[in-house]
Amino acid sequence: MVTAAPPIRTQTRSPLVLWHLLSLDAPTVAALWTWFVAAAVHVYLPIGAPAAMALAVWMLYAADRLLDSLQHDQELEARHRFHHKHRPAFLTGIAIDSVLLSGLLYHMLPGARRLYALLGSMLFAWFLLIHARGLPGRDAHRLPKEIAVGICFPAAVFIPTVARFPALRLPLLPHATLFAAVCSLNCLFIYAWEHPDARPRAHWTTRYATRHLTAFTAAVLIAAITIAAMTGIKHKGPWPLALACALSALALLALNRYRSRIQPITLRAAADLALLTPLLFLPFLKLPFLKP
């Protein structure tokens, strides 16, 4: 049976916690970075691009947490219990979301649709593996979720920009790699905080990475600062992307240092808040970069 946990009624009064429990954290990050990538290279995006990203990511995360809430062989986190408690509302939201998303995808560039179709197929296969039950010798928790998020999430964020200007693929590759590393670090820190003791069920890459999180984060931070400095030499280089990644890495390190002073659910929400560093660059980027 699902392990009982203290009520989260008082904690949900916090806007930050509610943002997390409603699965709005990842969609916010995805939509913001979709716009930010385009803004950093002076590419105009239709407003439907970040909107579609937010809808798709919300549906994916809400479905993932609903499926996780059905697993009665492990202790569930607050986000899983919240989704289980409000299951009808989330299922209704997913149904409405899918209709809205279909309309936005119809108006998307053919190149972007093809890339998203490929990425969606990969995500669907990953979902089947993660949530597979009853297969001999299959333990879904041995799959490296951090790697999957580190690959798929940044790919989805950069697709709207590179689909419009394929020539930007190579110049943006270092920044996409940095963002992928930061997304993986986000998942690794969360996993380490939620599993402070031995992690026998984790994939071996996750166990190794969580033992060396500070070193890996420092490496990402140094790489981000270096790339920001190199691209900053060019007046129109996308240096804000690398600098935002550096700030996010610093924020994750700070959260890790003071994690004992923060309630677990707030800490979990703050980890995604650390990825909203593009907001700091709003005063320095020309607006609007979104067209209706």
Q: How far is CA 53 from the centre of its chain?
A: 11
Give the whole-angstrom CA distance, residue 228 versus residue 107: 34
Mean pLDDT value across residues 162-185? 92
Phi then psi for residue 290, to 5 deg, are -115, 130
Where b means 16+ CB within 10 Å and e means fewer, 239-266 reads bbbbbbbbbbbebbbebbeebeeeeebb
pLDDT digits (tens, 9 = 90+) for 10-68: 444 689 999 999 999 999 999 999 999 999 988 888 888 899 999 999 998 898 888 88
Please report which confidence band the pLDDT of residue 5 belongs to, taking 50, 70 and 90 as the band edges.
Answer: very low
What DSSP element (H or E) covers 134? none
Angle at 253 between CA 250 and CA 259, to 5 degrees: 140
Higher pLDDT, 146 or 192: 192
pLDDT of residue 97: 92
Cβ contact 91:66 at 8 Å: yes
Token representation of residue 154: 């940044």
Under DSSP, the state recorded for 282 is G
pLDDT tops 70 at residue 171: yes
Domain ranges of the chain: 15-132+140-287
Give the whole-angstrom CA distance, residue 182 versus residue 189: 10
Please report which confidence band the pLDDT of residue 226 belongs to, taking 50, 70 and 90 as the band edges.
Answer: very high
